[in-house]
A and B are shown apart, each in its own frame.
Chain A
């Protein structure tokens, strides 16, 4: 079952206040109930005999200690629409019992204070649906709930005083998304008046921590030529013209020296950090000439800090334009580090490493280039909308830039740094297959483009996966729940866009959605969730024991596998 979370209109529940935490939002989306549609009575009328009902019951335990958990809320949802069907709570013996339901597939969610709210047997974005019916034991559901982990720490300044208002960024190593192992943003926090930050509801994994802050006392003067400050006054100023470089746990300003923090379920990890102010730098930005007819002609360039490839950290540095008639903008109060500088009119992007230069050229010789993409569908149809194109850097960082296709079947990336980029396309979170890419250098089928030192035009041919592949994962002839199912394309290295995954439901059934035409093997790996499955050398040992399947344009919306997929040990 795939739990791609899609937003739905909310009817039925009225809450007096807005939702307050990410965990709640997660739950709310999961549980968004839909009013019973009008056709339901009609459907009932068509089936005059009352449906046979099956019990749904089980126990909730702590996944670490095995302790039975009382006071746990369980919510049963319709699998197709995510309608909330019923809720109940476990008793002192950790046992829950829901009202019996007709045969079908249901999503079961458990939530308890101190634990991570989740669907049954959840792994990454997947979980196992509860399947009721003849021969299915749904009376002894062993729901193991993961206690949330927490990282907390104190951030202090040079004087050993608490650093209030520091932004703390937590990155997590992930293998999801078919892009190999890379870092994704986990959560972001702010230190309080005691310098404390606390980040919780963390899932097990390897984390990296970084802190950014501005010295609260810093002042960043600009000096014009006619302003002659005396020596004592300029010494006063220099003492306060300081900045904090990004500081990485355990206490380095070198991103490469950042140490991972290993977190297991229920862990409490203390991670204190000290930040040290250094003399701030001035950066001179040479801007490209703006088109005065456009409204945003006077927007000043934005500077963003780059932390673990994440560029979401705007720097609020004071700026001052250069002499009238010049195309200069001077920024003060900049800490040594890596930045992205962005101008809006015309749209320009440049990367800056202050160790190498304090000058940024958006005007000429910009280190980023535009990429124009024309889109066509392999079967000659019109591409689905909205169509989101994503460029992913073909390196360990997996930086992502995205752009939406216009109604003229084109997409433009204004400023792409040089390098090799994987091209991905998706429609409402469903990936499309990238069949081929045509540039002036020729056609490729490896789904990548290379940006050198000039603008690039490419025609990208896409195919939409329309086939759902349904089957059973079986071990010793019995359906096996919670197994990782991977649809592996024939050339895994060249086609990250063709991979599909699912987790088997309680009866061993699975559904690989939106498979594109191609030749594949389906593998079922028991406890395979820790694998870096998208890497060819990792997945290839399992291919021999997999089930071959060919999807063609004629396969239609649904393919039923007649033979079960054998579950392989990890």
Chain B
């Protein structure tokens, strides 16, 4: 995995967490002060429970023990669920199994707030969310005379099936990759999930799947060991028989692949028959490799949708690549780095250099041994940052001072990453962030040079979506443009050498603040299960900022402040479960409804009472 990659996605999570923390502190501190006057011993307990994050923060469990009763149901069928484990986290940690009628009873629970969990194999798959995934773990106010609890679990889905070969041969060792639709940075994305190989009976099974949309990619010749090894020998066989990679059921291109939509505990059967086809020997010679150091070349073969194909390569030392490929259209991407021999000298010319190139070609009924893939020296793209309005003294850019200064104010936030971040992700939804397996990940990141300037590292030629984050306190992201185009609407294009037109980013210093409050209807401290709301702010203007959001708890923080917001108009949505929102897809946004509109003026300190919960 590219280590730089984690920075981009992690910063989004950090942002969300920081927004929550910023408002939680005053409330927690207030609570602690009140408790400390009454009972000093208990405040130590609170501090501990905050560290472990197990129990809710506001009040510790106290009072006479209560018997908690309730029912667990299957959300898909509404039927009671037997042998589900209901757990109470924290101290005392207690649990019970439900009976045949889905009923449970846990004795001797001290009155107060507790976190409950429900577990059963085959239920409760983790959703893959834009922000932080969260299992259903309701906070419950336990009190004598409390109502019976109604808890529920969602059944997991599965895809299973049989592959057979038209020749009647055993379909053992056929590689099958599950591809899942996810939302990455507000856009739909296809991410590689689990990979299986078929059993000698040709069987496969993917289980524990959350509701969602899936594709199956079948790669019979990927590392299966049953194929004829490619060779660049002059007398190598020009044509062999094999099974071409395809999407279920028989699509060459991802666009034509069957979407497998799973919900409510579905067991989808996906059987398919593979027919042998001719594979032709293809040889690509890299050109433009400078003499001098040895270059370590990484080739990646993609189909036209950007999906990494797993056909075995043979690599010759003279930088020829040979592979047997079926008819089709391909993109071969190569990057080369100087092989470091012995003790490396940091900053030495060869060590920093990267060569990039890509080649589109087709295989059409015959071998082709004359492909040329030109490599060009990679060059970065400059990023120009501008502050608006210009601050009297420009905010310090160096990362260490940010971490040092904030340490006392935000003890739990150990963020020391770069204050500004920007990344480019392929427009092609199969080649993006999710594909950490193999060479499919083509994301690139902004790096800070020694003199404090930013540049985007060279990447493979092609079109990219840009995302960015202001990062610093008191600064929010304004417009991001390149060649006069807003990067929120138009992709950025990298040419040969992996560079594109310079990127202009505006960082605003007149950011607004918004405090959101839980609806009045959810403000009561009634016994039983508490509500958690997940609040999202969707900008009505061009924005490359990650989604702003926060979380409100009926039995905890009923208000939260989001700061460093870019001034402008937003729509605010509150949900009972975390959502992954395609906020950069106008069609998906239209389906969300109107939400609550609010316009934030520059430097505004606004407040919003949520009117209700979105479906």
Contact = CB atoms under 8 A, between A and B. Distances in A.
A148 interface: yes
Interface in B179-232: 195, 197, 199-201, 203, 205, 207-208, 222-229, 231
Interface in B77-96: 83, 85, 87, 92-96
A73 interface: yes
A115 B226 CA distance: 10
Given A13-B315, A112-B226, A236 B96 contact: yes
A150 B202 CA distance: 13
Given A161-B121, A232-B67, A239-B96, 10 more contacts: A15-B223, A73-B227, A88-B228, A99-B235, A193-B122, A193-B158, A194-B205, A200-B199, A217-B119, A233-B108
A14 B121 contact: no
Interface stretch (B6-14, B132-140, B167-175): B167-175
B197 A15 contact: no
A139 interface: no
B156 A193 contact: yes
A219 B122 contact: no
Contacts of A200: 172, 199-200
Contacts of B439: 16
Question: Chain A: interface residue count, which band?
Answer: 35 or more
A216 B310 CA distance: 37
Given A19-B223, A113-B171, A150-B200, A13 B119 contact: no
Contact of A217 (B85, B170, B224): B85
B614 to A, nearest CB: 33
Interface stretch (A20-28, A294-302, A319-327, A415-423): A20-28
B94 A216 contact: no
B551 to A, nearest CB: 28
A75 B205 CA distance: 32
B295 interface: no
B229 A84 contact: yes
Contacts of B158: 193
Contacts of B121: 161-162, 164-165, 193, 216
Interface in B107-124: 107-108, 119, 121-122
A217 B95 contact: yes
Contact of A14 (B96, B156, B228, B313): B313
Contacts of A544: none
B555 interface: no
Contacts of B92: 229, 233
Nearest to A26: B225
A15 B175 CA distance: 15
Contacts, number: 157
A89 B122 contact: no
B240 interface: yes
A397 interface: no
A11 B106 CA distance: 63
B200 A17 contact: no
A31 interface: yes
From A150, A230, A233, name the one whose CB has the most chain B CB atoms within 10 angstroms: A233
Contact of B226 (A16, A99, A111): A111
A298 to B, nearest CB: 20
Contacts of B122: 164, 193
A88 B241 CA distance: 11
A12 B315 contact: yes
Pick the 5 closest A-B CB pairs, nearest first: A114-B170, A14-B315, A233-B108, A232-B107, A193-B207
Interface string B536-555: 00000000000000000000
A117 B165 CA distance: 19
Interface string B48-73: 00000000000000000101000000
A159 B98 CA distance: 13
Interface of B: 65, 67, 83, 85, 87, 92-97, 106-108, 119, 121-122, 156, 158, 165, 167, 169-173, 175, 195, 197, 199-201, 203, 205, 207-208, 222-229, 231, 235, 237, 240-241, 276, 299-301, 308, 310-317, 321, 437-439
Interface string A84-121: 10011100000000010000000000011111010000
24 contacts: A12-B316, A16-B301, A16-B311, A20-B195, A24-B223, A70-B167, A70-B169, A71-B241, A88-B228, A113-B170, A113-B171, A113-B172, A113-B200, A148-B172, A148-B200, A161-B83, A193-B205, A193-B207, A194-B205, A219-B93, A219-B95, A236-B106, A240-B95, A240-B96
From B121, B170, B314, B315, name the one whose CB has the most chain A CB atoms within 10 angstroms: B121
A240 B107 contact: no
Nearest to A84: B229
Given A17-B438, A216-B119, A239-B97, A12 B314 contact: yes
Given A159-B83, A193-B121, A112 B169 contact: yes
Contacts of A113: 165, 169-173, 200, 224, 226
Given A112-B226, A164-B121, A16 B95 contact: no
Contacts of A240: 85, 95-97
Given A16-B301, A31-B229, A114-B169, A233 B107 contact: yes
A519 interface: no
A23 B173 CA distance: 10
B97 A17 contact: no
Contact of B308 (A16, A71, A216): A16
A198 interface: yes
A230 B449 CA distance: 65
Nearest to B228: A87
Nearest to B205: A192
A466 B172 CA distance: 43
Contacts of A15: 223, 312-313
B230 to A, nearest CB: 8
A20 B225 CA distance: 10
Interface in A425-450: none
A200 B276 CA distance: 25
Contacts of B195: 20
Nearest to A70: B167
A35 interface: yes
B199 A23 contact: no
Contact of A114 (B87, B93, B95, B172): B172
B313 A16 contact: yes
B228 A89 contact: yes
Given A150-B200, A192-B207, A217-B119, A21 B229 contact: no
A35 B108 CA distance: 72
Contacts of A35: 317
A23 B198 CA distance: 13
A23 B225 contact: yes
A259 to B, nearest CB: 24
A19 B225 CA distance: 9
Nearest to A117: B225
A112 B171 CA distance: 10
A188 to B, nearest CB: 16
Contacts of A193: 121-122, 156, 158, 205, 207-208
A217 B72 CA distance: 15
A19 to B, nearest CB: 6
B438 A87 contact: no
Nearest to B314: A13
Contacts of B200: 113-114, 148, 150, 200-201
A517 to B, nearest CB: 42
Given A87-B229, A117-B225, A16 B170 contact: no
Nearest to B109: A233
Contacts of A114: 169-170, 172, 200
Interface string A171-214: 00000000000000000000011100010110000000000000
A11 B315 CA distance: 9
Nearest to A30: B225
Given A200-B200, A217-B85, A13 B312 contact: yes
B223 A73 contact: no
Contacts of B437: 17
Contacts of B83: 159, 161, 217
A15 B438 CA distance: 10
